[in-house]
Amino acid sequence: MRRWTMIPMAVVLAGTGAAIAPVTASAAPPAAAVAQCPTGWGSLPEDRTASGSQPLVNIRTGAHPCYDRLVLDVPGTSAAHPVGYHVRYVDTILQDGSGRPVPVRGGAVLEIVVVAPSYDPGTGATTFPARAGQPLPGVDLKGYRTFVDTRFAASFEGQTQIGLGVRARLPFRVFQLDDRLVVDVAHSWNATR
C-alpha cells in the first residue's frame, strides 16, 4: 500500500511543478518596448489672431522624452483670453522694424512672433531683458536633443520676435495655457523617442 501512496504524491508534485512553470514564465517582464511619442503635429505655420497688450515677462525651456519645449510667459492670458502668435519655419530671421538678418544656428529655424511686447506698454519699462541678436537670457540648451540655439530678434510695435534654431525641420505644436504660450518641437517625425 505504501507504494501506491508515493506514486500519486509524485504525480501531484510533478503536476504542480508543471502548473507553476507557465505562471512564472508569464510573470517575467516583457522585452523592452519602444516608447511611443504621439504627435500628429506638422511643420506648417501656426497662427492665432488675438489682440492685447500684456507684456512678455520670461522665456524658458524644458527637455522632455518626446520633444523640447519653449515657454513664453505672458501673465493675464489664457485659453479664454489668448495671446496672438505666428510660428513658422523660415530660411532667415529678419528683424522686425529694420529687416536686418539675425543669425540663428541649427539645421532649421523657427520664427516665433508673440503679440506681447517685451516692455510695459504703459510705462515703456523693460519686462524681458533681452538684446537683439543675442541668445535668450537664462536659457541654457546643453543636453537638449532638438533645440540648438535661441535668439532674441526684436520687440517692435507690440510684438516680440524670437528665433529658435532646431536640429532639423521637425514637427511642432503651439498651444495656450494660463499665463503662457507653449511651443513644443518633436525629436523625430516617426513618433518614437
Farthest CA pair distance, the chain: 106
Domains with residue ranges and CATH for the chain: 46-186 (2.60.40.3500)
Q: Which residues pair with 76 in a beta bridge?
A: none
The pLDDT score that the predictor gives to residue 24 is 39
Q: Which residues pair with 126 in a beta bridge?
A: 119
Regarding pTM above 0.85, the answer is: no
DSSP states of 62-121: EE-SSEEEEEEE-TT--SSSPPPEEEEEESSEE-TTT--EE---SSEEEEEEESS-SB-T
**Terminal Cα-to-Cα distance of the chain (whole angstroms):** 66
Residue 62 backbone dihedrals phi, psi, to 5 degrees: -150, 140
The pLDDT score that the predictor gives to residue 193 is 55
DSSP-derived letter for residue 100 is -
The pLDDT score that the predictor gives to residue 37 is 83
Residues of the chain with pLDDT under 70: 1-35, 39, 191-193
